């Protein structure tokens, strides 16, 4: 396995690269390629739909693709590769392991990194709510790939984890493979000690990034399903499923995940990267809680799952779906879900007036 091939860097090599900021071998074309790909997708979508709708279509595409590839990575890591890796054992250590460039993990990180870069101008123009979210994601994915080393050393965000003594060194055979991939000649790869000694930029915390992406998109998939089913007969159940999955991932799965990050960041051998991960992950978690609150608050205020719908909408829908009505009866009073009939035979809510009008100002927020 490529991940298990990383060996500990020798003290001589570590000293050599600690005294200066070296150039690293790294496949920057992977990120650049995905940026071009997402930019083309945005242009194609904008030529088919209005600009706002095209943004939603590309967001849906990213959500589906990111969830699929991160799920494949998760299955491969747990069932095929196991939960080991360099730098320790257990989930706390695995979240901040090193990874070789060009792997599936790197492609998953680069895919979403490029998407958020391309989508940021649209967020600024049309969806200001997502500006902070996109900014945190961009900064986090950049840190994972080591791009913070290009910042001025005087800034508090500067970090070059390749210069740390604890950073492993990729095996020589992987460097040869990497040179050949970059169309280097076999002679140059074999004979040039200068190129062989040049360090290969690793990824750090890729497990953290990809697992976070999978966890976030698990709720995001149901959000896009709900948005796709608006004004259809399945809008009401899809809305309920979205809120359930989003609440479950944000209020149960994510806090458990944060616990491991906090524990690793406060450990005695925690690095600057551990603390950075904790801060960025906490910020991302808070932005998701804010989004969840904006979806839950109107429901709490109006007592209706879809506050914008007219009075009696929910009861009429339940009358058309007896099974769902029986399930709802396990949690709600009968008068809340039952339609009665007036003298003319028209159906009216059993408790006319029990549903307060939707708060338009709250919904606009």
Segment 139-189, tens digit of pLDDT: 999 999 999 999 988 887 899 998 888 888 877 666 666 666 655 444 444
194, exposed or middle or buried, with CB in 10 Å at 0-12, 13-18, 19+?
Answer: exposed
| Chain mean position to CA 110 | 12
Q: Is the per-residue pLDDT at 363 higher than 70?
A: no
Q: Within a 10 A sphere around the Cβ of 50, how many other Cβ atoms?
A: 10
Predicted pLDDT at 290:
95
195 versus 295: which is more confidently predicted?
295
State the pLDDT at residue 179. 64
Across 301-308, average pLDDT: 90
Give the range among 51-55, 88-92, 145-149, 332-336 with minimum mean pLDDT. 88-92
DSSP codes joined into one string, 198-238: SPBPPEESHHHHHHHHHHHHHHHHHHHHHHHTTTSTTHHHH
Segment 282-306 shows an average pLDDT of 94
Over residues 83-138, the pLDDT tens digits come to: 444 433 344 556 788 888 989 999 999 999 999 999 999 999 999 989 999 999 99
Number of residues in the chain: 365
Residues above pLDDT 90, as percent of the chain: 51
Q: In terms of C-beta distances under 8 Å and separation of at least 24 residues, what long-range contacts does 42-46 make, across chains too?
A: 42/118, 42/119, 42/122
Q: Residues with Cβ < 8 Å from 288, sequence gap 6 or more?
A: 133, 216, 250, 254
Confidence of residue 81 (pLDDT cuts 50, 70, 90): low
- Mean pLDDT over all residues of the chain? 81
């Amino acid at each position: 396995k490529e991940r298990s091939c990383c060996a500990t860097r020798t003290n001589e090599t570590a000293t050599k690269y600690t005294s200066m900021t070296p150039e690293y071998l790294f496949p920057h074309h992977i990120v650049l390629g995905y940026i071009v790909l997402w930019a083309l997708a945005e242009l194609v979508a904008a030529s088919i739909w209005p600009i706002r709708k095209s943004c939603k279509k590309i967001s849906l595409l990213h959500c589906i693709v990111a969830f699929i590839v991160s799920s494949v990575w998760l299955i491969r890591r747990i069932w095929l590769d196991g939960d080991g890796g360099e730098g320790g054992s257990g989930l706390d250590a695995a979240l901040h392991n090193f990874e070789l460039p060009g792997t599936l993990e790197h492609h998953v990180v680069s895919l979403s990194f490029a998407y958020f870069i391309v989508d940021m101008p649209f967020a600024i123009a049309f969806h200001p709510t997502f500006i902070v979210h996109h900014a945190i994601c961009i900064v986090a994915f950049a840190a994972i790939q080591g791009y913070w080393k290009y910042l001025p050393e005087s800034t508090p965000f500067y970090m070059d984890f390749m210069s740390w003594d604890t950073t492993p060194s990729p095996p020589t055979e992987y460097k040869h493979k990497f040179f050949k991939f970059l169309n280097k000649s076999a002679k140059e790869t074999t004979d040039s000690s200068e190129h062989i000694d040049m360090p290969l930029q690793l990824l750090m915390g890729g497990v953290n990034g990809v697992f976070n992406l999978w966890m976030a998109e698990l709720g995001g998939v149901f959000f896009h399903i709900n948005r796709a089913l608006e004004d259809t007969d399945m809008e009401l159940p899809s809305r309920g499923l979205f809120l359930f999955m989003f609440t479950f991932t944000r209020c149960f799965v994510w806090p458990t995940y944060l616990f491991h990050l906090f524990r690793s960041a406060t450990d005695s051998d925690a690095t600057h990267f551990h603390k950075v991960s904790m801060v960025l992950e906490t910020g991302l978690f808070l932005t998701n809680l804010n989004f969840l609150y904006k979806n839950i608050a109107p429901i709490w205020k109006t007592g209706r799952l879809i506050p914008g719908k007219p009075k009696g909408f929910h009861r009429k829908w339940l009358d058309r779906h007896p099974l769902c009505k029986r399930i709802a009866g396990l949690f709600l009073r009968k008068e809340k879900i039952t339609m009665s009939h007036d003298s003319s035979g028209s159906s009216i809510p059993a408790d006319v007036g029990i549903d307060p009008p939707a708060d338009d100002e709250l919904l606009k927020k």
